Amino acid sequence: MLTINLIREKKEFIIERLKVKNFEAEEIINRILVLDSSRREIQSKTDWMHAEMNRISKEIGSLMKAGKRDEADAAKEKTYSIKEEIKSLSDKLIPIDNDMKNEIIRLPNLPHESVAPGHGADDNVKVREGGIIPLSSETAIPHWDLIKKYDIIDFELGIKLTGAGFPVYKGKGAKLQRALISFFLDEGEKAGYREVIPPIMVNEESGFGTGQLPDKEGQMYHVTIDNFYLIPTAEVPVTNIYRDVILNADMLPVKNIAYTPCFRREAGSWGAHVRGLNRLHQFDKVEIVQIAHPDHSYKSLDNMVNHVEGLVSKLDLPYRILRLCGGDMSFTSALTYDFEVWSAAQKRWLEVSSVSNFESFQANRLKCRFKDKGDKQTRLVHTLNGSALALPRIVAAILENNQTESGIKIPSVLVPYTGFDIIN
């Protein structure tokens, strides 16, 4: 969420920037500013009265000690009206505080200055592309047929066990999953990321910290009996490691990498383009997360983009990198790069990674701050994350792009992990 200081000081700027995300902020901001000024007024008053109460209470203490009971009782009389007034003021303050918070969390993050305006995928800006799109796509078999042909991923079995969107990986299909996960983690480790294995269920506080709650609870599986949520991405637990933490500036950037299964209800988003591995309720993903100094967070973002680009290149997948337009960006992001790989049989680009800088938007919810050496003041960190990478569509692209008469060729970087070089 945006900080109240920024809203106070840069109202017009915020309204202008949020137009890039097609968000009309003026009304909300006006309401926030009214609530903020009454909040401050009430707080000043109650602070002053509390001071008075504290003064009198101390006086009573010393009068009691001196045995001046009558004077003490007289002083007590004075406190009753002050106490009542404090009560009525704080009764007013609580709803104002709540209302203000509820308004502030409705404001999306400001887009970075490089973000283009726009309404959807068509307005995204292609940054660069790489790899060679295979030509033989006329006869290419889509991955949902290939997985049956080679019996490596079983959707029907998943339906029996759980339901649609929970596939069972079998034999070489399972091995390929494990190989990709290990490859991604090893590459991350080489790039200086520390591996963590977080819980895959989180509490409400964590859901709030990274912005899934409130409002997006419909996208997460909710374990109601214990009030836990299945994570939609490792971003949630890994970023929340730093909730309520004050870091030293010299520790930044903090770089973590995690493999987790991810769970998404995907309510209302099923359609023509979601066959096979294109959209699942449970899938595997390796996520990179950085906690960065605000002065260097865009350098971190570039590093992360380069890292992900290295992964898709090493897998020999044709890819392109898009800088998302305002309308296609998430609520919490300031700048997002999407990675897409070419799918030879579907003849379209599949999103396999999303790398974002959230600047201080999540940090303000998380209360994750840092202190420069010798500095008294704390400042909010910047948080970033990116998929490195999400498996299912990578698998889809590998299957479709690498299919041959004799079977599916495994990218050479994966062979040491799989132990085989062809699925047949």
Binding residues for RNA, per CB under 7 A? Answer: 4, 40, 43-44, 46-48, 50-51, 53-54, 56-58, 60-61, 64-65, 76, 79-80, 83, 246, 369, 371, 374, 376-378
Shortest Å distance, C-beta 382 to RNA: 16
- Name the helix (H) or strand (E) containing 233: none
Pairing of strands 335-343, 319-323: antiparallel
Contact criterion met (CB below 8 Å) for 323 and 20: no
DSSP string, 32-49: HHHHHHHHHHHHHHHHHH
User: Cβ-count burial of 93 within 10 angstroms (0-12 exposed, 13-18 middle, 19+ buried)?
Assistant: middle
d(CA 112, CA 384) in angstroms, rounded, equals: 14
Shortest CB 115 distance to RNA, Å: 28
Q: How far is the CB of 54 from RNA (least distance, A)?
A: 4
Minimum CB distance to RNA, residue 233 (Å): 24
Give the residue with the Cβ less far from RNA, 67 or 218.
67
To RNA, the closest distance from the beta carbon of 129 in angstroms equals 44
Q: Specify whether the backbone of 340 is left (phi greater than 0), alpha (psi in -120 to 50) or beta.
A: beta
Which residue(s) pair with 386 in the sheet? 288, 355
Report the relative pairing of strands 319-323 and 153-154 from DSSP bridges. Answer: unpaired
CB atoms within 10 A of CB 274: 13
Q: Between 161 and 246, name the residue whose CB sits nearer to RNA.
A: 246
Between 77 and 113, CB nearer to RNA: 77
Nearest residue (CB) to RNA, 279 versus 367: 367
| Residue given tokens 């406190």 in the structure block | 79
Q: Between residues 102 and 136, which has the closer beta carbon with respect to RNA?
A: 102
Spell out the alpha helix ranges (H) of 191-283: 204-209, 235-240
Taking the least distance from each CB to RNA, the nearer of 148 and 367 is 367
Instruction: Give the residue among 417, 415, 399 at the shortest CA–CA distance from 344.
Output: 399
Phi then psi dihedrals of residue 410, to 5 deg:
-85, 130
385: region left, alpha or beta (phi > 0 left; psi from -120 to 50 alpha)? beta
What is the residue whose two structure tokens read 């494990």? 178
Structural tokens at position 259: 């493999």
Nearer to RNA, 243 or 275 (CB): 243
What pairs with residue 153 in β-bridges? 169
Distance of CA 161 to the CA centre of its chain: 30
Closest approach, Cβ 88 to RNA, in A, equals 12
Give alpha helix (H) positions in 197-326: 204-209, 235-240, 297-314
Q: How far is the CB of 209 from RNA (least distance, A)?
A: 16
Residue placing its CB nearer to RNA in the complex, 164 or 246? 246
- Please name the amino acid found at residue 24: E
Q: How far is the CB of 365 from RNA (least distance, A)?
A: 13
Closer to RNA by Cβ: residue 51 or 161: 51
| Nearest approach, Cβ of residue 230 and RNA (Å) | 17
State which residue, 95 or 120, has the beta carbon closest to RNA: 95
Task: State the nearest-atom distance from the C-beta of 51 to RNA, in Å.
Answer: 3
